[in-house]
């Protein structure tokens, strides 16, 4: 059941607060923000918003955090043509790109892509590969391996029980490492910028 007008307004204030303070306020502060006199009202409001997916509890269940729909407005208020049957509208919209692509910051490294050996996989020279270290790589993953003291981005393949590195460009050969294959990390994302 779509939330009512009042809650819309309340949500707006929460969003405004979030912009400045980057967190969902405490119940007491919610009261101040909304003009409530009782913390219970604040809590009930949060529960309502939780139902709609605007806020969530933290994994530790000890505080509130923005939910998947919390940032939804970014696309919504950009008025698009009347009809707008497009899927783009309501899709989960993680405004923080970082969030979208980085799951474990402490183990994530950005590596600029050099060369066109993966061009058929839509990975261009100059793109930035988002690489997660210390994650087990399996066949089919795109991995950053260390070959000749350089980073190499390839698909991890398996051939007669041995790992091989498969480029996505017919002009490049498959790499069959002699000794042990040193894998730096697994590619979990890609970022590209179009110059302007």
The residues binding DNA (CB under 7 A) are 4, 6-7, 26-29, 31, 35-41, 43-45, 48, 62-64
| Residue 103, contacted partner among DNA, a copy of itself, none, CB below 5-8 A by kind | a copy of itself
Instruction: Determine the interface stretch with a copy of itself among 40-48, 58-66, 156-164, 171-179 (rule: CB under 8 A).
Output: 58-66
Q: Does 73 bind a copy of itself (CB under 8 A)?
A: yes
Q: What CA–CA distance (Å, rounded) separates 124 from 117?
A: 8
Q: Cβ distance 127 to 113 under 8 Å? A: yes
Member of 1, 5, 22, 160 binding a copy of itself (CB under 8 A): 22
156 alpha-carbon distance from chain centroid:
23
Q: How far is the CB of 57 from a copy of itself (least distance, A)?
A: 10
Member of 3, 52, 93, 169 binding a copy of itself (CB under 8 A): 93
Q: Which two tokens stand for residue 34?
A: 């909304």
Query: Does residue 117 carry a catalytic annotation?
Result: yes
Q: Does 6 bind a copy of itself (CB under 8 A)?
A: no
Q: Cβ distance 18 to 24 under 8 Å? A: yes
Q: Does 41 bind a copy of itself (CB under 8 A)?
A: no
The closest alpha carbon to 121, from 61, 176, 170, belongs to 170
Member of 76, 158, 173, 176 binding a copy of itself (CB under 8 A): 76
Q: Give me the long-range contacts of 46-53 (CB less than 8 A, separation at least 24).
A: 48/3, 48/7, 49/3, 49/7, 49/10, 49/11, 49/14, 52/2, 52/3
Q: Does 44 bind a copy of itself (CB under 8 A)?
A: no
Active site residue ranges: 117, 154
């Amino acid at each position: 059941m779509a939330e009512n007008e009042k809650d819309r307004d309340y949500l707006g204030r929460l969003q405004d607060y979030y912009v400045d303070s980057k967190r969902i306020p405490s119940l007491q502060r919610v009261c101040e923000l909304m003009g409530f006199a009782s913390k219970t009202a604040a809590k009930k409001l949060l529960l309502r918003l939780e139902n709609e997916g605007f806020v969530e509890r933290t994994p530790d269940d000890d505080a509130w955090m923005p939910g998947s729909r919390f940032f939804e407005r970014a696309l919504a208020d950009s008025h698009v043509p009347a009809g707008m049957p497009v899927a783009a509208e309501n899709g989960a919209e993680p405004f923080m790109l970082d969030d979208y692509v980085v799951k474990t910051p402490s183990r994530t490294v950005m590596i600029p892509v050099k060369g066109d050996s993966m061009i058929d996989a839509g990975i261009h020279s100059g793109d930035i590969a988002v690489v997660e270290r210390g994650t087990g790589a399996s066949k089919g993953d795109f991995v950053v391996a260390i070959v000749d003291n350089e980073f190499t981005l390839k698909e991890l393949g398996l051939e007669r029980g041995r790992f091989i590195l498969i480029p996505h460009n017919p002009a490049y050969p498959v790499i069959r490492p002699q000794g042990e294959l040193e894998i730096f990390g697994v590619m979990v994302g890609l970022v590209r910028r179009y110059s302007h």
